[in-house]
Amino acid sequence: MKKENIERFFATLKAANPQPVTELEYTSVFELLTAVLLSAQATDVSVNKATRGLFAVANTPQAILDLGLTGLERYIKTIGLYHSKAKHLMQTCAMLVALHGGQVPRTREALEALPGVGRKTANVVLNSAFGEATMAVDTHIFRMGNRTGLAPGKTPLEVEQKLLKRIPPEYLVDAHHWLILHGRYVCTARSPHCWECAVSAYCDYSPKTAPPRA
């Protein structure tokens, strides 16, 4: 994707959605961290359904610990891989209480030291909670980076690094949300909806593959 098209690409996404936000439901940094940790290989819809009940009774690290592992699992058992996620969340809550006064740390190093928290999860928290210009490369963003020509790469880290270099600074904070939402609803995995895509004119992929308009 040419540099001038990158500017137009993000200007168009911004015009359509000036203040994008994650579709995960949360009211505190800890709730966000919990929701993102639970969202691996699960949909935001399924996570939101589970956390509505969980957060109503336990929305702090100590409250989660007080539930106990079995108690926590009862609330999140509808989410895939809930056994391992419950274990990681309990371990994370113990570390937050012991090392951070029950607060979510603001540095990448401290976040990635928490069980179950990898680079992608840390990037989401740093971006959505603390306003840092990070890029959490999930399957949607990885696909978008490669398919559009915006940031081709063989690994999520390579795509992340290219996106951070190529996206104009004024769009960086919100770019993560725009790309996820566009990949989730328009630039879908099996059959991208190029014919209804607002940024298809700037994309390296769509001119060759978009079906004719009705």
**Could you tell me if residue 51 is inside a domain?**
yes
CATH number at residue 168: 1.10.1670.10
Domain stops at, among 112, 128, 144: 128
In the chain, where do the E strands start and end?
none
Q: Is residue 44 part of a domain?
A: yes
Q: Tell me what pLDDT residue 90 has.
A: 97
User: What's the CATH number where 118 sits?
Assistant: 1.10.340.30
Confirm if 192 and 205 have CB atoms less than 8 A apart: yes
pLDDT over threshold 50, residue 187: yes
Q: pLDDT-derived band of residue 68, with 50, 70 and 90 as boundaries?
A: very high
Same domain, 40 and 92: yes
Per-residue pLDDT at 206: 57
Q: Which of the residues are catalytic?
A: 120, 138
pTM (predicted TM-score): 0.89
* 91 and 174 belong to one structural domain: no
Residue ranges making up the domain that contains 199? 3-20+135-207
Assigned domain for 141 exists: yes
Q: Are 80 and 112 contained in the same domain?
A: yes
The token duo for 192 is 């991208």
Q: Model confidence over 72-117: pLDDT tens digits?
A: 999 999 998 999 999 999 999 999 999 999 999 999 999 999 999 9
Domain check: are 83 and 118 in the same one? yes
Higher pLDDT, 49 or 209: 49
Q: In the chain, how many domains are there?
A: 2
In whole angstroms, what is the distance from residue 128 CA to residue 72 CA? 25
* Whether residues 10 and 95 fall in one domain: no
The reply to whether 41 and 108 lie within a common domain is yes
Query: Is 180 within the bounds of a domain?
Result: yes
Q: From residue 57, give the alpha-carbon distance in Å to each of 66, 71, 72.
A: 10, 11, 10
Does 34 share its domain with 107?
A: yes
Residues 6+ apart with CB under 8 A from 22: 32, 44, 124, 128, 177, 180
